[in-house]
Amino acid sequence: MTSERPAPPPPPDLRQTIEALLLVAESPPTVRLLAQVTGVTAGKVESALSEIEADTARGIRLRRHEGTVALVSAPEAAPYVERMLGLDTPSRLSRAALETLAIIVYHQPVTREQIERVRGVGATGVIRSLRARDLIAPSGRLDAVGQPLLWSVTPRFLDHFGLSALDQLPPLEDLEPPAEQAILPLEPEEA
């Protein structure tokens, strides 16, 4: 018979406790999990997270992605972090990779075929490269013949571009389309 330890009382400094939990978490937790662990409401956790987000004078930032939260290094410190980790050789993305990422981020989840329809060329190699860099990952399968993989961006995408959330990207309708390139719809038009 195992005895469960009683839950500790709510922490006196919730922000400090949440920062510690985010620091030691094996994977980014949800607000709900943080509320369960600390014994406070999700609203109080959100308030503490808002305080962390508002404090931009520190070397850490809060990143939100698909309902989870994590601590990440401040984008301003990126060159020094990269140097410390031996990553200071630039890792450039090709134009094809950037185009593919843009399609995925603005239309996710999206299949390889949908990406190819928009780009007008094959995307297998680019998808393989972006996946190897952990910028995209499968996020399910389309409920259609063959059940093709659906692709979405990862938290690493946010880190790579110095974003804390996808809503920091400009709305798609605000972007100017390239003059030399036609924009094709993701879904085929029905006859």
Domain shared by 65 and 106, yes or no: no
Instruction: Give the number of domains in the chain.
Output: 2
Domain shared by 62 and 133, yes or no: no
Domain shared by 53 and 108, yes or no: no
Structural domain for 152, as ranges: 95-174
pLDDT higher than threshold 60 for residue 191: no
Domain shared by 41 and 108, yes or no: no
Instruction: Give the residue ranges of DSSP H helices in the chain.
Output: 14-24, 31-38, 42-54, 78-84, 95-107, 112-119, 124-132, 155-160
Residue 61: give its domain's CATH number.
1.10.10.10
Asked, for residue 112, whether it belongs to a domain, the answer is yes
**pTM for the model:** 0.56
At residue 176 the predicted structure's pLDDT band, cuts being 50, 70 and 90, is low
